[in-house]
Homo-oligomer: A and B are copies of this chain.
Amino acid sequence: MKTLIVVSHPEIDNSGSQQYLKKSLPDNKNITWHHLESLYSKKAIDREKERQLLAAHDRIILQFPFYWYSAPAKLKQWLDEVLLTDDSLRGKELGLVLVIGSAAKDYQVGGQVDFDLSTLTSPYQAIAKKLQMNFLKLFPIFQFHYMDESERMQLLISYQQYLTLSDFDSLRAKEQWFLSNLAKTEDALLMQVKEQLLDNRSDLDELELYLKGK
């Protein structure tokens, strides 16, 4: 599976969260980081080239700071100019990585924003519907600047999983992601974690077999 991350941020060098995400990218030829403002701040968007890039990937991630509850202007321009209402993106996946300055609790009815993220992101869901793409669960990052080191580490792991796992939200896929990342470890603690995961998995598999047999 090939993943394209279409990043939009007008001042990305000054964004701690975007720099952290960029550094978090696994060393993986199947992931393309594509920052729009670096390419197209001064020149016109190369529509044909962008469409070829989309065609060459399976999972399309739009990653941006949630300015006024939607994408920055450059990403909107890209959507307006590049997307066609044909079936060229049919069956591909569309995901959103939203960097949000305020707290998760603000995004609900009665909260400060008064709308939840499922509602506010409906225009992107409608795009996916129109283009026959599969819309992924949202990947919101709330208040990055208040995160401590362990929260950031957790974010890094979830982010890598969101980019690379075909079924990123299943327990089995997450286990396998950990096992493959732990394959070569010689760290005693991590080796214990690995043993624990393998034990858990065989317990779960036994349970599953038992339930199927009933």
Contacts and interface: CB of A to CB of B under 8 A. Distances in A.
Nearest to A66: B123
Given A68-B80, A80-B68, A80-B73, A126 B122 contact: no
A104 interface: no
Contacts of A80: 67-68, 72-73
- What interface size band does chain A fall in? 20 to 34
A129 to B, nearest CB: 5
Interface stretch (A89-97, A112-120, A154-162): A112-120
Contact of A113 (B71, B112, B129): B129
A85 B130 CA distance: 34
Contacts of A129: 113-114
A77 to B, nearest CB: 4
A74 interface: yes
A137 interface: no
Nearest to A81: B73
Contact of A74 (B69, B73, B113, B125): B73
A79 interface: yes
A70 interface: yes
Contacts of A79: 67-68
B69 A76 contact: no
Interface of A: 67-74, 76-77, 79-80, 83, 112-115, 119-120, 122-123, 125-127, 129-130
